[in-house]
Amino acid sequence: AQTVTQSQPEMSVQEAETVTLSCTYDTSESDYYLFWYKQPPSRQMILVIRQEAYKQQNATENRFSVNFQKAAKSFSLKISDSQLGDAAMYFCAYRRGRTERDDKIIFGKGTRLHILP
């Protein structure tokens, strides 16, 4: 069975600094998707960034980028120039590959990110 592990329950970063959130996963599949979701106090699940496993190039979305290491099954999120609005719970997540049209997303336990002014 696939699993997603986030080993950092909480992290803090100074405003305007850079922070990296760690995630590892376990799967026997070769094709899959990985995601980072943000959950602010409103509890809504907001997609931050996604990565297709077949792509070697790391995904980037403005201040958010990932370091995808397929062999190591590692998928970390880097937030540059941290802003107060980045404070939230961040979930790493996995979804099975392209041949499966509907499939559940498996979440890690989350990392709560605090931004220090």
Partner 1 sequence: EPEVTQTPSHQVTQMGQEVILRCVPISNHLYFYWYRQILGQKVEFLVSFYNNEISEKSEIFDDQFSVERPDGSNFTLKIRSTKLEDSAMYFCASSDGDTEDHNYGYTFGSGTRLTVV
User: Which residues of this protein are in contact with partner 1, per CB under 8 A?
Assistant: 33, 37, 42-45, 47, 50, 52, 91, 95, 98-110
Q: Min. distance of Cβ 11 from partner 1 in angstroms?
A: 16
**Closest CB to partner 1 among residues 14, 44:** 44
Q: Min. distance of Cβ 65 from partner 1 in angstroms?
A: 17
Q: In angstroms, how far is CA 39 from the centroid of its own chain?
A: 12
C-alpha distance from residue 60 to each of 40, 56, 64, 100, 116 (Å): 21, 12, 6, 25, 24
**Closest CB to partner 1 among residues 101, 117:** 101
Q: Min. distance of Cβ 104 from partner 1 in angstroms?
A: 4
Strand 46-52 versus strand 32-39 pairing type: antiparallel
SS3 letters across 45-78: CEEEEEEECCCCCCCEECCEEEEEECCCCEEEEE
* H/E element, 88: strand 88-96
Q: Min. distance of Cβ 77 from partner 1 in angstroms?
A: 16
**Closest CB to partner 1 among residues 17, 31:** 31
**Closest CB to partner 1 among residues 28, 101:** 101
